[in-house]
């Protein structure tokens, strides 16, 4: 896995179970985001084969929350507008939303992310935590089987981090989602992760959280993993 001819991770052999909550962990520069983007199909694997099968054994439906979302503040997009972007993959649905005024679907996605009160607010005016909720709502608008998040807790306060983690746990439970989440830490999230995909020294290893938080990883995270 990598870019061009430059491999970032090699020999990756991992299977993601439906309904699991996978923490993609590793030090800065270890290839976590590269791995996630490859799993999403945003960049092709340099070698080997990537198999993605959904519940009906067709293509997996992903909802993606990127690490940073730059929306030009010159465009006065409301939170509702940003969430509606998640329906673009389904042109027919988006046309119905516009043509027949079926705003309920987008409102439901906002509500599911705890952002229903933000619908009419400008996205550019929102706090970091509010923006994350809106981006999660946008991902839900894609009606995903897999919710993928790249460092969703970066740059927001601890109270908001806890609220977002609670939200993710509820979404997994209520919607039966598979969740992939890139993080550089473990303390707050370890109670949610069912599996850990550890990126280090150009390789990736995967196991249950209990298996992975022993030995090497326990030493790496010391106080956090304890």
* CATH classification at residue 53: 3.40.50.300
Do 39 and 84 lie in a common domain? no
**Backbone angle region of 209, left / alpha / beta, with phi > 0 → left and psi within -120 to 50 → alpha:** alpha
Q: CA quadruple 216, 219, 220, 226: dihedral positive or negative?
A: positive
Do 202 and 138 lie in a common domain? no
Q: Per residue in 189-208, pLDDT tens?
A: 778 899 999 888 888 889 99
DSSP H helical ranges for 65-103: 79-84, 91-99
Mean pLDDT over the full length of the chain: 82
Tell me the CA distances in angstroms from 55 to 143, 177, 190, one per residue in order: 13, 11, 26
Q: Count CA within 13 A, CB hemisphere, residue 196.
A: 23
Task: Give Cα 192 to chain centroid, integer Å.
Answer: 14
CB distance 213 to 225 below 8 Å: yes
Q: What is the pLDDT of residue 80?
A: 93
Q: What is the pLDDT of residue 78?
A: 93
Do 33 and 135 lie in a common domain? no
Q: How many domains does the chain have?
A: 2
Do 89 and 156 lie in a common domain? no
Which of 143, 159, 185 delimits the end of a domain? 143
Q: Per residue in 40-98, pLDDT tens?
A: 888 877 676 666 665 555 678 899 999 877 776 777 899 999 998 887 765 454 555 55
Short-list 16, 49, 13, 14, CA closest to 177: 16
Tell me the CA distances in angstroms from 136 to 89, 112, 194, 206, 222, one per residue in order: 16, 9, 20, 25, 31
Q: What is the pLDDT of residue 115?
A: 96
* Domain extent for 167: 1-61+146-226
CB distance 165 to 188 below 8 Å: yes
Do 50 and 106 lie in a common domain? no
The packing angle between helices 104-112 and 128-140, to 10°, is: 130
Q: What is the pLDDT of residue 20?
A: 94
Q: What is the pLDDT of residue 28?
A: 83
Three-state secondary-structure class, residue 21: strand
Q: Is 41 domain-assigned?
A: yes
Rounded to two decimals, the pTM is: 0.85
Q: What is the pLDDT of residue 225?
A: 44
Do 30 and 49 lie in a common domain? yes
């Amino acid at each position: 896995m990598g870019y061009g001819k430059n491999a970032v991770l090699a020999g990756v052999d991992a299977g993601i179970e439906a309904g699991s909550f996978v923490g993609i962990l590793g030090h800065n520069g270890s290839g976590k985001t590269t791995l996630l983007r490859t799993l999403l199909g945003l960049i092709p694997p340099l070698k080997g084969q990537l198999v993605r099968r959904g519940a009906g054994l067709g293509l997996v439906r992903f909802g993606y929350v990127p690490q940073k979302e730059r929306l030009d503040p010159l465009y006065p997009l409301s939170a509702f507008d940003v969430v509606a972007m998640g329906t673009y993959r389904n042109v027919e649905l988006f046309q119905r939303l516009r043509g027949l005024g079926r705003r309920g679907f987008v409102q439901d996605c906002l509500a599911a992310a705890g952002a229903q009160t933000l619908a009419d607010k400008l996205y550019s005016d929102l706090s970091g935590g509010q923006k994350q909720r809106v981006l999660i709502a946008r991902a839900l608008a894609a009606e995903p089987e897999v919710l993928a998040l790249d460092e969703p807790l970066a740059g927001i306060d601890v109270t908001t981090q806890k609220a977002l983690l609670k939200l993710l746990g509820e979404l997994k439970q209520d919607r039966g989602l598979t969740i992939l989440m890139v993080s550089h830490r473990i303390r707050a999230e370890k109670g949610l992760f069912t599996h850990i995909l550890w990126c280090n020294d150009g390789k990736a290893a995967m196991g249950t959280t209990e298996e992975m938080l022993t030995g090497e990883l326990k030493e790496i995270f010391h106080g956090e993993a304890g």
